[in-house]
Amino acid sequence: MKGPPPVADAHDEEVRARIARGLVYTESETAFLAFGRRTEQIFEYNHTPPREAERRRSLLAEILGSVGERVVLLPPFHAAFGSNTHIGDDFFGNVNLTCVDDVAIRIGDGVMIAPSVTLTTTGHPVHPSRRADFGRFSEPIVIEDKVWIGSNVVVLPGVRIGYGSVIGAGSVVSRSIPPMTIALGTPCRVVRDITDEDLTTRLAGQ
């Protein structure tokens, strides 16, 4: 069961404010957020047989912050919390989707994600002294409606991928991508717009 969050004190609120600003925080400082981790439910989801579709759906509702209708998420699935990830309607996620959701990951409707994709809201300071106690910073990720993300893509903190866009396999997305574009590479860059001409590609007999 998810249960209510603990009552926050002044220290907790200060840490939350720092996280919201994208500033560095540490593992010890965020111990009060551990209630949001869905480790046991994720383990159970990944070990639930395919024939138990209703059980999988029930577990997914327990794991995620919110989940829409007609959602397919093939195990194994991994998440730092689970409860900070939000998925819309008509979603397909292939195997080995990893959500480092220390803060919110919001996925819209009609999104498709290929195998072995990582969505990470969290990075670490460059200087090693700032990584003591697992020092890190986090920024939300937004994936808008109708996006398709190819295999082995990594989406980094603070990125927004616009409506209808396609991210090529193997890309590292470090900057936001505008709507209705194809982007690929390391770092990921827009290579062209998606146009009505794309409606005629891959037709039968071509």
Q: Which pLDDT score, from 0 to 100, does residue 20 have?
A: 95
Q: Which fold has domain 18-193?
A: UDP N-Acetylglucosamine Acyltransferase; domain 1 (2.160.10)
pLDDT value for 6: 59
pLDDT at 78: 98
Active site residue 124: yes
In this prediction, residue 3 carries a pLDDT of 56
Look at residue 201 in the predicted model and tell me its pLDDT.
Answer: 82
Which two structure tokens, joined as six digits, stand for 14?
Answer: 């200060």
At 15-46, the pLDDT tens digits run: 999 999 999 999 999 999 999 999 999 999 99
Low-confidence ranges of the chain (pLDDT < 50): 206
- Tell me which of 47, 78, 124, 127 is the catalytic residue: 124
Choose among 68, 66, 62: nearest CA to 41. Answer: 62
Sheet with 112-113, edge to edge strand ranges: 72-73, 92-93, 112-113, 148-149, 166-167, 181-184, 189-193
DSSP H or E segment with residue 11: helix 10-20
Domain boundaries, the chain: 18-193
In this prediction, residue 8 carries a pLDDT of 61
113 and 95 in contact (C-beta within 8 Å)? no
Chain mean position to CA 154: 10
Q: CA nearest 64: which of 45, 85, 50?
A: 85
